[in-house]
């Protein structure tokens, strides 16, 4: 029974490690994860015969990911042992004093930044390489991405022959909120917390994406150095500041462990007021000679420990449930709470996620509920305290109509979300307009989200169709708008009228209709009126159009607001018919799937060529696939093609087919 529990714990921890370190998408809170690790560690100590060498308690961090070169750390980037109680901090002090044989240690206490640990290497004062921690011995080379972090100096104030430092890359809470807001507009999955947002941003294969994420860093350790003599941690932090680094904030030294405990509490009280996330306080022995005497285990130094703040929970009353309509039309129920102080801030609302969550937890209006704020920025309701009910509590039901526009809401099969699908819903206005003007839609150059937001805020536009009724004089009052810029935007709007029916369909923002499906619809129906009048049965017969898409299209055009938008576009002179650019029909009836990286063609270029010759491009391989065009690092699609006996061609064979 004990061995089975240990096997389960090991598998569960490794699964969470994969989600946290390698996918940057945690599935449990830090506190829940730490509890699993502590249980496994305790069982391994009590039953060493059942412990295995590959236990996650003996490993550090995640594995290097594909797409980055690997870096072997000359000085291992160790993890830290965790403490979850003041008693464990006192036990750490006792162990240190015992190992130092009567020598009195001095401690440095720092805030533990919740981010991604990296190494920075400098030669002759110039930044030459940056890498992630990885598994502590091997990490990822993310030099180009780290060069976009403004607080990482490219050149030090003193040209040391060599220095390697360790720091924590993080994302401020403000930057995190802005990033998730933008991802919501783009219908991308939201990051759970700033730590995972920072990790996901730093691991982007395109450094231009990283540059847009406003990452920051605090440096907290010198790994190795040539040309610098330093004997204490405090000296090293001060020296790092002299070199131009932003160092770990809130660090102080103490000779008495009781003062260390007080400092842990002080940092914890400040936690909710900081512009970045921390998940604990780190206690380090200050003197480097003492550190050498103490040494390290296979995973962590014996001269440091991380005190992890518990996931604070509080009871309060659920006064009401209010619906927030997001920019993608999702109706999210939020708890209106009797204000309560938790994790350094006063909380009066918390997310309830969706109606399934409310039903599963049997949460009712008027309940006494337990809320938590740990790791995630937004507090959440954990459960209701059913034994405190007096019978006045009310069972909650989602509204049948959107509170922002009054339209009927829908919940599609297999989805937890309830949505408003009205294209003119004011809550979705700015998201829909940004999508309408975007590159893959109407491609209106110069109309970024900031300008569109100003136009919407000034009631100059309510839908994408309103863009075609703007004049240059409407744009001039906007921030940083000159006459030439205004004229260029008006010209770009005018030019977009000939974008084509496929782009118009995609620009309308019909749920489930991507650019490929929009082209299939445009090719099949030829004009917008025939599409608007199509039945579900007619739609379902089209390549790449299934039942969910057919339902979504008919539902969209059944809305009066959609018909009004089409009328505005037609009156403005937007082309609502499809003009085929097929050169010849050599690929007519043929379906291609693209996989891997082609030597010369970009994927969208190859797609355009196939369509120009009458072919279709699909995203998945099936028996109906005629050709798989494979490049370097082709993955599972290539393997599936071989299993099904589908013809596999490379770029040279593809070019031969075009001759």
Antiparallel, parallel or unpaired: β 591-595 and 616-618: parallel
- For residues 109 and 280, is the Cβ–Cβ distance under 8 A? no
Q: Are 587 and 615 in contact (CB under 8 A)?
A: yes
C-beta pairs of 636-642 under 8 Å, 24+ apart in sequence: 637/593, 637/595, 638/595, 638/596, 641/593
Query: What single DSSP character describes residue 177?
Result: H
Report the distance separating Cα 234 and Cα 120, nearest Å: 20
Contacts of 594 (CB under 8 A, 6+ apart): 603, 606, 607, 617, 628, 629, 631
Q: Are 109 and 252 in contact (CB under 8 A)?
A: yes
Q: Does 568 qualify as catalytic in the annotation?
A: no
Cβ(350)–Cβ(378) below 8 Å:
yes
Q: State residue 630 phi and psi, 5-degree precision.
A: -110, 140
Q: CA distances (Å), 26 to each of 13, 20, 186, 214, in order?
A: 12, 5, 21, 22
Cα–Cα distance measured from residue 366 to residue 389, given in angstroms and rounded to the nearest whole number: 8
Cα–Cα distance between 279 and 114 in angstroms, integer? 6
Q: Could you tell me which of 202, 169, 345 has the C-alpha nearest to residue 274?
A: 345
CA dist 509 and 411 (Å) reads: 17
Helix (H, G, I), strand (E, B), or coil: what is residue 437? helix
Q: Which is the catalytic residue, given 112, 373, 516, 637?
A: 112
Catalytic residues: 112
């Amino acid at each position: 029974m004990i061995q089975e529990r240990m096997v389960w714990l090991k598998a569960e921890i490794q699964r969470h490690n994969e989600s946290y370190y390698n996918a940057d998408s945690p599935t449990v809170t830090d506190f829940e994860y730490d509890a699993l690790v502590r249980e496994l560690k305790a069982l391994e100590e009590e039953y060493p015969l059942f412990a295995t060498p590959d236990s996650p308690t003996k490993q550090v961090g995640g594995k290097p990911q594909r797409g980055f070169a690997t870096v072997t750390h000359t000085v291992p980037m160790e993890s830290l042992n965790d403490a979850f109680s003041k008693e464990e901090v006192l036990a750490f002090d006792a162990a240190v004093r015992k190992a130092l044989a009567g020598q009195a240690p001095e401690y440095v206490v720092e805030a533990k930044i919740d981010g991604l640990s990296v190494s920075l290497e400098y030669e002759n004062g110039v930044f030459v390489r940056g890498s992630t921690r990885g598994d502590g011995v091997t990490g990822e080379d993310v030099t180009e991405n780290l060069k976009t972090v403004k607080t990482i100096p490219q050149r030090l104030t003193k040209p040391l022959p060599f220095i390697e430092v360790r720091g924590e890359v993080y994302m401020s809470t403000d930057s995190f909120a802005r990033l998730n807001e933008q991802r919501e507009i783009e219908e991308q999955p939201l990051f759970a917390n700033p730590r995972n947002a920072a990790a996901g941003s730093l691991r982007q294969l395109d450094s231009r994406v990283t540059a847009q994420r406003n990452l920051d860093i605090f440096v907290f350790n010198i790994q190795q150095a040539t040309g610098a003599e330093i004997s204490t941690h405090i000296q090293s932090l001060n020296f790092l500041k002299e070199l131009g680094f932003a160092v770990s904030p809130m660090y102080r030294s103490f000779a008495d462990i009781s003062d260390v405990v007080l400092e842990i509490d002080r940092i914890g009280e400040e936690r909710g007021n900081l512009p970045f996330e921390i998940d604990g306080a780190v206690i380090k022995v200050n003197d480097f000679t003492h550190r050498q005497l103490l040494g390290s285990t296979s995973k962590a130094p014996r001269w440091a420990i991380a005190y992890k703040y518990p996931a604070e929970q509080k009871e309060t009353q659920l006064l009401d449930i209010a619906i927030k309509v997001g920019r993608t039309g999702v109706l999210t129920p939020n708890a209106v709470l009797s204000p309560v102080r938790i994790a350094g801030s006063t909380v009066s609302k918390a997310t309830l996620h969706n109606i399934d969550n409310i039903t599963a937890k049997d949460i009712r209006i008027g309940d006494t509920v337990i809320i938590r704020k740990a790791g995630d920025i937004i507090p959440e309701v954990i459960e209701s305290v059913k034994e405190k009910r007096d019978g006045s509590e009310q069972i909650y039901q989602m509204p049948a109509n959107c509170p922002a526009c009054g339209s009927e809401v829908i919940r599609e099969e297999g989805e937890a979300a309830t949505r408003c699908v009205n294209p003119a819903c004011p809550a979705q206005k700015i998201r829909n307009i940004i999508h309408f003007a975007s590159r893959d839609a109407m491609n209106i150059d110069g109309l970024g989200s900031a300008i569109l937001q100003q136009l919407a805020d000034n009631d100059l536009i309510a839908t994408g169709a309103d863009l075609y009724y703007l004049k240059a004089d409407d744009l001039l009052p906007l921030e940083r708008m000159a006459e030439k810029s205004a004229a260029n935007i008006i010209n770009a709007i005018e030019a977009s009228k000939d974008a084509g029916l496929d782009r118009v369909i995609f620009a309308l923002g019909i749920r489930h209709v991507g650019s490929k499906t929009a082209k299939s619809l445009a090719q099949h129906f030829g004009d917008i009126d025939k599409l608007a009048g199509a039945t579900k049965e007619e739609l379902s017969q089209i390549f790449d159009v299934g039942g969910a898409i057919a339902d979504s299209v008919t539902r969209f055009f059944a809305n009066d607001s959609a018909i009004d938008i089409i009328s505005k576009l037609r009156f403005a002179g937007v082309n609502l018919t499809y003009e085929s650019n097929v050169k010849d029909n050599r690929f007519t009836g043929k379906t291609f799937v693209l996989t891997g990286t082609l030597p010369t063609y970009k994927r969208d270029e190859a797609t355009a060529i196939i369509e120009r010759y009458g072919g279709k491009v699909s995203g998945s391989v099936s028996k109906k696939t005629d050709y798989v065009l494979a490049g370097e690092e082709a993955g599972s699609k290539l393997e599936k093609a071989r299993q099904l006996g589908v013809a596999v061609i490379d770029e040279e064979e593809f070019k031969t087919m075009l001759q």
